[in-house]
Structure 1
Amino acid sequence: MQEVVEASIKTDQNGSVVSPKGFKADGVHCGLRYTKLDLGVIVSEVPASAAAVYTQSCFQAAPLKVTQESMAGGSRIQAVLINSGNANACTGKQGLANAYSMRRLCAEAFGLDEMQTAVSSTGVIGEPMNMEKIMEGIPLLKPDRSEEHARAFETAILTTDTCIKHTGVAFEIDGQEIRIGGAAKGSGMIHPNMGTMLGFLTSDAAIEPEYLQMALKEVTDTTFNQITVDGETSTNDMVLVMANGLAGNEPLHPGHPQWNDFKEGLGEVCKQLAMMIARDGEGATKLIEAKISGAATLEEARTAAKKVVGSSLVKTAVYGEDANWGRIIGALGHSGFSICAEKVTIWLGDLCLFSRGEPNTFSEEEAARCLQESTVMIRADLGSGDAEAVAWGCDLTYDYVKINASYRT
């Protein structure tokens, strides 16, 4: 039996997809959007193990189909090309041909194997891709390891986002420093399963594709799949991770004594990016975090947590700073599981609102202060078991309607 060695995971708020060894990135304006950067790329010095999770929408966009084909060939990827401004979704045979062309053009530009190149798109659904702009834009990409180039990439993948989203971690495995960095976009159509956003992670860890996929799937279930903004699932989105092995550690696998350290590091990056997406929900002013404890099963805890943060009535109550705990009760009550009302206790921050089936006397002023925080904490103990889970969402504001009422214009 191998000795388990614990590593200290250090979060790097300035971390990015170029933080791990051997990765470069860039972003440029190619004309798919009026003035904003709209074409980005990540390139690894060497082919990297790769893993991905994809939207469960029945209308998967053409770039996802092409990327899944690349991933099927041994799951080693050396570059991923991403555009914003056009989803290339529901665009028929021509859309698929355009996605293949994007893959080929990217591979040719950087001297790579086409089958080790992935593509991704985000933006308006149903519009033909302007391939002339893509062809003009790819030669403008000059991937580099600088922070400036990383910020350009993070900007190029955005749509209605109000800010870039990036983070990273560092820790030791086998005495070697391992880094994991990531960037994401997402603001609306966020209700992953998997997933309604784009997330790109890089690592210099040595790990085979099958184990990278195993780790990604596990951490996705507790991070990206636990956020919701509006209950809508997109056609395009995915999370893709590349690990090129340049850190020089012994290859990771479930029997490695520091396997859990790698999963913890990967999970921390995914969690931070997921929370950034939820906080930046279209029109949002507050992040909502719901922690469910005392659930009979993990599935029950996860579902109940997402019900709370996904409830339009909870979201509007948070926006209006109204401590109407009946909204939370309503969300929990139709979570699809048998919940005993007499065992449930609910808190807003540290303020108990409802205790084991009975209303609790509380200060409305103190409750209002809790609701004025940038992160509103809701906790519920279901009193039925030991399982717990967390989910993240945001408040629902007038601006959400304004943004989505004129998305195409």
Structure 2
Amino acid sequence: MDNNSIAWKFINGGVAAPKGFYAVGVQAGIKAKDKYDVALVFSQVQAQAAGVYTRNLVKAHPLYLTQRHLQNGLAQAIVVNSGNANACVGVAGDHAALAMAQVVATFMAVPAEDVLVASTGVIGVEMPIDRVLSGIRAASAELLGDMVKGIREPKEISENGAHRAALAIMTTDTTVKERAYELPCEGGVVRLGGMAKGSGMIHPNMGTMLGFLTTDANIASSELQRILREAVDESFNMVTVDGDTSTNDMVLFLANGASGMTLSKEELSNFENMVKTMCIQLAQDIARDGEGASKFMEVKVFGAKTKEDAQKIAKSICGSSLVKAALFGEDANWGRIFTAAGYAGAEFNPEKVDILLGDLIVAQAGRGVAFSEEKAKEILALKDVHIRLNLHMGEEQATAWGCDLTHEYVTINGSYRT
């Protein structure tokens, strides 16, 4: 989406950029001693809230708690830990997730039901709850101190807290994923902040992927839920790194109305596009940071009969281990691309399909064409590789993102617990 430079602008501050939001990250010793691993995001006032969750039948304990707490569409805080997924550990996991919410509630003087909880890390290991709760107390104390000091000025302090929060939600990520935008409106401005994490165990319908969005716009939870769902369907749900869908992934969205701005129809449309753009950019950040990845892959499918068909094919190609391996080896094996399209479960006529690597046509009307292997090698040697398919079946299109499959991916995941 290219209109973001016209309708809104990039600003600093990450998830704490919107008015009335604060964030902090601390080192609780869940991971290595020098790593941030507990994050707290807080709104000065109760916010409208929305969430989307993994479709894996096996779900982590904090996910169930967050779903219950969000039934009324309201929240005021999000607490996140990395280093332990708090998944598949029985009653102890339920108690740990609840304790995390209760400690935030006690320190920040809000109902426990207004605290949302997320975790990421190793599955099946009981949470080191004493360290986690100690970290939450430290994060709460620091955040309260920031609020008392009026941290909105100087701005750098607020930005530092948000940056540390983004660091604290990382596991095997190698880069921080955070964004913030400002949208001019007739009566002022509204801001949107976001942070995400994800590197491995990423597959359509989200993976070990957490995303947190904040805005100071005045938007009802039902409308927020619609905006979030539509944005996620075209962003996070179009990313695949390795074909595995996690137990913990979720995206949460809080709108506290602190800007005092209720958006007009046109402003709401711009806001929705801004949310979608941020989610797409964060999703692309995740694909680029795929575990061990050396290349970023974007697959665009045009000319589909339905959007669902286009999405299925784009995701299928991005998720194909053979396509990903060919990408790593810089092999212009377009047959693997075509094969992945064929088993995607979408409707199309193979005899109409054109396939391009970058701007190089490698197959036309379902058949291979003579092309320069040298030119193909140059395209596949790039850090960003673009694959395009035209189905010539209709007007719908979709885009998915992924990465190559490298030796390093196996190395990372062969010793993840150790």
Shared fold (TM-score, shorter chain, > 0.5): yes
Residue ranges of structure 2 left out of the alignment (5+ in a row): 152-157
Q: Deviations over 1:107-128 (max 9, x none)?
A: 1111222111111100000111
Q: Which of 199, 219, 223 matches 1:187?
A: 199
* Residue number in structure 1 paired with 2:15: 17
Amino acid at match of 1:31: G
Deviates more, 1:44-53 or 1:163-172: 163-172
Aligned partners of 1:170, 1:280: CA distance in 2, in Å?
A: 26
Contact 1:195 1:239 in 2 (8 A): no
Match of 1:42 in 2: 41
Cα pair distance change 1:334/1:11, threshold 3 Å: farther
% of aligned pairs identical? 47
Match of 2:187 among 136, 154, 175: 175
Higher helix share: 2
**Which of 392, 397, 408 lines up with 1:383 in the alignment?**
392
Ranges in structure 1 where 5+ consecutive residues have no aligned partner: 1-5
Q: Distance in 1 between matches of 2:90 and 2:346?
A: 40
Q: Partners of 1:196 and 1:129 in 2: how far apart?
A: 17
- The one of 218, 238, 250 equivalent to 1:238 is 250
Distance in 2 separating the partners of 1:271 and 1:127: 32
Equivalent residue of 1:147, what SS? helix
2:154 counterpart residue number: none
Cα deviation for residue 14 of structure 1 reads 4.2
> Is contact 1:215-1:263 (8 Å) kept?
yes
TM-score normalised according to structure 2 size = 0.93
Q: 2:114 aligns with which of 92, 113, 116?
A: 116
Q: Residue deviations 1:226-267, cap 9 Å, x none? A: 000011010011000111111121257xxx333211110110
State the number of aligned residues.
400
Q: For residues 136 and 196 of structure 1, what CA distance do their matches in structure 2 show? A: 25
Is the contact made by 2:301 and 2:313 (CA closer than 8 Å) also made in structure 1?
yes
Q: Does 1:395 align with 2:404?
A: yes
Q: Is the 8 A contact 2:47 2:76 kept in 1?
A: yes
Query: Does the aligned pair in 2 maintain the 1:84–1:121 contact within 8 Å?
Result: yes
Q: Please name the residue that 2:239 is paired with.
A: 227
Provide the secondary structure at the position in 2 that maps to 1:20: coil
Corresponding letter in the other structure for 1:343: K
Secondary structure of the residue aligned to 2:317 is helix
- Give the Cα separation in 1 of the matches to 2:256 and 2:311: 33
What do residues 10-38 of structure 1 show as CA deviations (whole Å, max 9, x unaligned)?
34274510111111111111111122111
> Is the 1:7–1:258 contact (alpha carbons within 8 Å) kept by the matching residues of 2?
no
Instruction: Compute the TM-score of the two structures, normalised by the length of structure 1.
Output: 0.95
Partner of 1:235, secondary structure, is coil
Residue among 71, 75, 94 paired with 2:92? 94
The equivalent of 1:198 in structure 2 is 210
**CA drift at 1:311:** 0.6
- Aligned-residue RMSD, C-alpha: 1.5
Alpha-carbon deviation of 1:178? Answer: 1.3
Per-residue deviation at 1:407?
0.3
- 1:327-406 equivalent positions in 2, closer than 5 A: 327-406=336-415
CA distance in 2, matches of 1:172, 1:247: 11
Q: 2:59 maps to what in 1?
A: 60
Kept in 1, the 8 Å contact 2:303–2:396? The answer is yes
> Which SS does the other structure have where 1:42 is aligned?
strand
- Superposition deviation, residue 387 in structure 1: 0.7
- Equivalence for 2:79: 81
Distance 1:366 1:334 in 2: 28
Give deviations 1:161-194, integer Å, cap 9, x for gaps: 1111011222123432111111000011101314
- Residue 197 of structure 1 aligns with an amino acid whose one-letter code is M
